[in-house]
């Protein structure tokens, strides 16, 4: 059976249920970038 520090270490490095953590961070940052681009387009289109 794994020790408590080992369990804590495993939990710390547990992968998310989809993608990887780095992949998820890119999704969040990419969504923000897409929103900003969309808002710039909206500002320019309807000024």
Quote the least distance from Cβ 26 to another protein, whole Å: 9
Under the binding rule (CB under 8 A), the answer on residue 7 touching another protein is no
- Residue 15 CB contacts under 8 Å (≥ 6 apart), including other chains: 21
Helix (H, G, I), strand (E, B) or coil at 18: coil
Residue 3's Cα: distance from chain center in Å? 30
- How many chain residues are in contact with another protein, going by CB under 8 A? 24
Positions that interact with another protein (CB under 8 A): 8, 11-12, 14-17, 21, 24-25, 27-29, 31-32, 35-36, 39-40, 42-43, 45-47
């Amino acid at each position: 059976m794994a020790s408590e520090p080992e369990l804590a270490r495993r939990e710390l490095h547990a992968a998310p249920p989809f993608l990887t953590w780095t992949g998820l961070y890119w999704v969040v940052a990419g969504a923000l970038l897409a929103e900003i681009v969309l808002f710039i387009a909206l500002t320019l289109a309807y000024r």
